[in-house]
Amino acid sequence: MVLSGCANSHSNQTQASSDAEFVLRLGHLQGETHPYHQGALKFKELVEKESHGRIRVDVFPSSQLGNGRDQVEGLQLGSIHFHIGSVAPITNFAPKFNVLNLPYLFESREHAFRVLDGEIGKEIAKGLEEKGIINLAYMENGWRHLTNNKRPIKTAKDIKGLKIRVQESPPYIAFVKSLGAMPVPIPFGELYTALEQKVVDGQENPLAQISLNKFNEVQSYMTLTAHNYDAAVFLMSKAVFDKMPKDLQKIILESAKKAAEYEREVAKKEESKYLGEFRNSGMEIEENPDLESFREAAKPVYEQFEKSVGKDLIERIRELK
């Protein structure tokens, strides 16, 4: 049973048998050197090998299948079969995911893994199933940091008055407001131009995004705020999953877990490389900002969202640190 007749002939992808029972499309928004893509290719390799060619996975990077919301809606329709991406676009489908967008929620990567890979991670993702989507595993997009083109940022007060591009996510918008800055939602694909033309003064993103999209060319200052651990979701169309025989479902689930572990390792290893690139490009990096001032400024964000995401959920997450 072929669910998609569209094959991606990208040269980096291994060629699977043309008579595969399932031809599945996996989309993400990042380029081919991003950890997302490395995780996607690992998943493709594992699934095609373990299924002995019964499944073929075609990978479409760089927003070829549309923006984040487009791809998530494609999962619901069954026109897209897998998607790797940020949490922000799926909060409209499963509001509990908003808890992962709260600033300074996680103390460390290990803390995040304990939460995401355990019962809480499953609980947060459960709301997606009634929308026709399954979260196979949590990958990562890394820690998010601030950049700007105006001045060095050492404390939370230093950002006051700046215009900062944010994702269209209520917790991100609230966090930037709590710092006394002006949040400006801009689609990711338009961000470089917005920075270049000074529509906004700065932005916040993981190091991989900043490097691979060359934001350092149009930003002079970086502050390692690590204000959010950006968990990535690895989603699958539930309608497609349900059509597959049990043995292939098992291969999908096991391969997704292994691919997520691999992607996390890639993401972690590459962070130091990106910092080196930024230093060499002449970017001024504040490596030891006053993080306590940022955490203090972020407290009103929790007061704003604890009712909608659940104060008990926040407390359970913090207890796992």
* Chain Cα centroid distance, residue 115: 16
Surface-to-core class of residue 269, CB atoms within 10 Å of its CB (0-12 exposed, 13-18 middle, 19+ buried): exposed
* Chain Cα centroid distance, residue 100: 11
| Residues 6 or more apart whose Cβ sits within 8 Å of residue 267 | 35, 139, 140, 141, 142, 208
pLDDT of residue 6: 41
Burial 21-35 (b: 16+ CB within 10 A, else e): bbbbbbbbbbeeebb
* Chain Cα centroid distance, residue 174: 19
User: Could you give the percent of the chain with pLDDT greater than 70?
Assistant: 94
Residue type, 291: L
| Contact of 21 with 54, CB cutoff 8 Å | yes
For 50-102, the pLDDT digits (tens) are 999 999 999 999 999 998 889 999 999 999 999 999 998 899 899 999 999 99
For 164-195, the pLDDT digits (tens) are 999 989 999 999 999 999 999 998 889 999 99
Q: Domains of the chain, with CATH numbers? A: 22-319 (3.40.190.170)
pTM for this one? 0.90
For 108-142, the pLDDT digits (tens) are 999 999 999 999 999 999 999 999 999 999 999 99
